[in-house]
Amino acid sequence: MILSVSRRTDIPAFFAKWFINRIRAGHVLVRNPMNYHQVSKINLSPKTLDCIVFWTKNPRSIFPYIDEISASYPFYFQYTLNSYGREIEKNLPPIDERIETLQTLSKKIGREKVIWRYDPILLSSDYDVGFHIKNFKKLAQILAPYVESCVFSFFDAYPKVMKNIKACNVRACNDDEMNYLAKELANVGRQNNLTLKTCAEIIDLQDYGIEHGKCIDPELISRIIGYKIDAAKDKNQRNECGCVESIDIGQYNTCRHGCKYCYANFNAQSVETFNSQHNDESPLLIGELTDVDKVTERKIKSLKTSRQLSLF
């Protein structure tokens, strides 16, 4: 099993204490996003949990628990780091602090286990194509010693996202802008020895040496754990997403970063309400079990094959 922590919210930033309590307890309860009272019980035994993938914009709160987690579980981090202003990324720490946090994380766990995410790329009068080229180059030069690769994606103007970001007057890139940006970003990547990949993009950028990425990446996981894994494509993700199967333990409308482009937050009042119901001691991320909840233990298994690989 691969554990996603989490596409739906920033658990390392806001719920680190809860997560380590779940690790110590050996299980976690997760509500079905499509059926609130349908709850899955996930066994977190190291015998079946092959790797944890953390998604975050500020992992500093989980630093005190990194050694404890790494004693039993392999993991890596997807770390999003852009340079948008507070009108776009409302509640993030200053960019210099987030850079220092990434550097600290990389020194602690190894640069191969920190994936820099530059996404989503959106355009406006303040954030034009030139801004992204200049900004990406500056960040790449700083971060290259601390990461092996960078994943980027282009902003998708989903209706529920546009509802939140409309006042910022942003737009998606057209095909010409995507190709031009990809070419320039690829040049920066080569200059800084960074491998570039896209996240859930249809556009083909292989002419620039940029492949379609897999954020839940079986090749990287195999490198980290020392065994080949047998994992199918995640059928719950979009067709253009290359990720393999995983179990996500987050909940939508719970992240407090307040980023306007976020697809996982679509109701500000729900974010406030859900966070008021959070309890670090609960097996659920938000709230407690009720009499009408139906708990089912999810059948899980290790994805390791018998083929052992050389570790880093």
pLDDT at position 308? 75
What's the chain's average pLDDT? 96
| Domain range summary for the chain, segments of one domain joined by + | 2-308
pLDDT at position 310? 60
Distance separating alpha carbons of residues 45 and 63, to the nearest angstrom? 22
pLDDT at position 180? 98
In order, the DSSP letters of the chain are: -EEEE-SSS-HHHH-HHHHHHHHHHTEEEEEETTEEEEEEEEE--TTT--EEEEEES-GGGGGGGHHHHHTT--EEEEEE-----TTTBTTPPPHHHHHHHHHHHHHHH-GGGEEEEEEEE-B-SSS-HHHHHHHHHHHHHHHGGG-SEEEEEE----HHHHHHHGGGT-B---HHHHHHHHHHHHHHHHHTT-EEEESS--S--GGGT-EEP-SS-HHHHHHHHSEEE---B-TTS-TT--PBP-EE---SS---S-BTT-SS---HHHHHHHHHT--TTSSBSSS---TT-EEEEPP----EEEEE----
- Starting at the edge strand found earlier in the chain, the sheet holding 211-212 runs 211-212, 195-198, 149-154, 114-121, 75-80, 51-56, 2-5, 247-248
Q: Say whether pLDDT at 309 is over 80.
A: no
Q: Using one digit for the tens of pLDDT, what is the confidence trace for 188-212?
A: 999 999 999 999 999 999 999 999 9
Q: Say whether pLDDT at 132 is over 70.
A: yes
pLDDT at position 312? 55
Q: Using one digit for the tens of pLDDT, what is the confidence trace for 141-184?
A: 999 999 999 999 999 988 889 988 989 999 999 999 999 999 99
Q: Using one digit for the tens of pLDDT, what is the confidence trace for 82-117?
A: 989 999 999 999 999 999 999 999 999 999 999 999
Question: Which pTM does this prediction carry?
Answer: 0.96
Q: Say whether pLDDT at 301 is over 70.
A: yes
pLDDT at position 266? 87
Long-range contacts, 68-71 (Cβ 8 Å, 24+): 68/20, 68/23, 69/20, 69/23, 70/109
Q: How confident is the model at residue 273 (pLDDT cuts 50, 70, 90)?
A: very high
